[in-house]
């Protein structure tokens, strides 16, 4: 089968070529990939940023979410059958959605929303699961709470705004001047133009902050939270708890404890809870997201779509950090 893969870590590595079709275990579902989407995570994996915690083997097929059609199922699969239209974020140990075929454990899969096409569906899993796990699972956002979502025009931000509004929150977000009105249309109650305003001076008494930006933004976010508030970061630093959850070595756990000691100490000083989120595949959560999509509560936001042959170009485009919503790659 054809796939976009790397043979070593590096910023500009990657090529399309022939690779063996994936093996299908008894709990796996073999899916013909129709579309995938590009995430900042793909670039971080390509450069080796996660090689200590995710020891991949080469050649490594990139890609972290997809939509497609079931071709074959393993002997123990009970939830899906050939012909089903599905979508998923595969478990992090078995990524590889920039390919004609992928084998995925059935527990990571969900039926594709009936009201979305393949490219729209492929834009959803990683970003929506990230938003769900941050807002529903970790922060447990309640009606009437105040939530700040940084980078509201990004892939996660666009979906997190919609989900937070559905949960009944008052939502603030940050974005650039050109995107202020566009982000308001997604449902944000307050939009901070980071080129003209300092969010830390404009906002206060928030219950939740979802951060995907730099360490400076992370530290400043503590100032807008009330005592007992929750600060969740997608961009780190990781914690010892994350190391335990990933089954990493004691040494790596101590490294992560040290890396996060500064922000954890500052969080305690402000009476705030800090958590690092590295989202995980979860088909049951994706089913709940499907229901919200089919009800019209959450809508995909797609900036551009590239043909499979232009996967490298799609990665470069996302790396510029200016996409509004998601970028997809179409295989069929």
The yes-or-no verdict on residue 52 having pLDDT over 90 is no
The pTM of this model reads: 0.96
The yes-or-no verdict on residue 215 having pLDDT over 90 is no
pLDDT score for 63: 98
The yes-or-no verdict on residue 7 having pLDDT over 90 is yes
DSSP letters spanning 194-215: TTT--HHHH--SEEEEEE-S-H
**30 within 8 A of 103, measured Cβ to Cβ:** yes
Of the listed ranges 49-58, 100-109, 173-182, the least confidently predicted one is 49-58
Please give the domain boundaries of the chain with CATH numbers for all domains.
Answer: 2-124+300-330 (3.90.180.10), 126-276 (3.40.50.720)
pLDDT score for 152: 96
Q: Is 71 helix (H, G, I), strand (E, B) or coil?
A: strand
What radius of gyration do the chain's Cα atoms show?
Answer: 19
Q: What is the mean pLDDT of residues 217-222?
A: 96
Q: Which residues contact 13 (CB under 8 A, 6 or more apart)?
A: 6, 7, 46
Spatial CA neighbour of 138 closest among 224, 52, 242:
242
Q: How far is CA 32 from CA 6, 72, 101, 299, in A?
A: 21, 9, 5, 24
The pLDDT-based confidence of 138 (bands split at 50, 70, 90) is very high
The tens digit of pLDDT for each residue in 231-255 reads: 999 998 999 999 999 899 999 999 9
The tens digit of pLDDT for each residue in 71-98 reads: 999 999 999 999 999 999 999 999 999 9
Q: What is the mean pLDDT of residues 15-24?
A: 97
**149 within 8 A of 210, measured Cβ to Cβ:** yes
Residue written as token pair 């780190």: 236
Q: What is the mean pLDDT of residues 161-177?
A: 97
Tokens of 312: 């490298």
pLDDT score for 55: 87
**8 within 8 A of 40, measured Cβ to Cβ:** no
């Amino acid at each position: 089968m054809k796939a976009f893969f790397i043979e070593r870590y590096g910023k500009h590595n990657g090529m399309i070529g022939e690779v063996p079709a994936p093996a299908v275990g008894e709990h796996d579902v073999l899916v013909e990939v129709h579309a995938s989407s590009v995430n900042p995570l793909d670039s971080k994996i390509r450069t080796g940023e996660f090689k200590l915690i995710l020891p991949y083997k080469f050649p490594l097929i990139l890609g972290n979410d997809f939509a497609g059609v079931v071709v074959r199922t393993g002997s123990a699969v009970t939830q899906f059958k050939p012909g089903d239209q599905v979508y998923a974020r595969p478990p992090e140990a078995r990524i590889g959605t920039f390919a004609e075929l992928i084998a995925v454990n059935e527990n990571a899969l969900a039926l594709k929303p009936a009201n979305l096409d393949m490219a729209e569906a492929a834009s959803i899993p990683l970003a929506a699961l990230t938003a769900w796990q941050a807002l529903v699972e970790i922060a447990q956002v309640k009606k009437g709470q105040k939530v700040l979502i940084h980078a509201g025009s990004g892939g996660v931000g666009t979906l997190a705004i919609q989900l937070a509004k559905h949960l009944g929150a008052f939502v603030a977000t940050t974005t650039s001047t050109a995107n202020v009105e566009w982000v308001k249309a997604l449902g944000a109650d307050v939009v901070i133009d980071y080129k003209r305003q300092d969010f830390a001076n404009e906002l206060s008494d928030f219950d939740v902050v979802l951060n995907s930006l730099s360490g400076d933004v992370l530290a400043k976010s503590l100032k807008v939270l009330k005592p007992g508030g929750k600060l969740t970061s997608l961009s780190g630093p990781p914690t010892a708890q994350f190391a335990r959850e990933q089954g990493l070595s004691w040494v790596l756990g101590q490294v992560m404890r040290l890396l996060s000691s500064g922000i954890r100490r500052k969080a305690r000083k402000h009476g705030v809870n800090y958590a690092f989120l590295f989202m995980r595949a979860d088909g049951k959560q994706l089913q709940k997201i499907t229901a919200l999509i089919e009800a019209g509560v959450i809508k995909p936001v797609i900036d551009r779509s590239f043909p499979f042959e232009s996967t490298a170009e799609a990665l470069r485009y996302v790396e510029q950090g200016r996409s509004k919503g998601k970028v997809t790659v179409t295989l069929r």
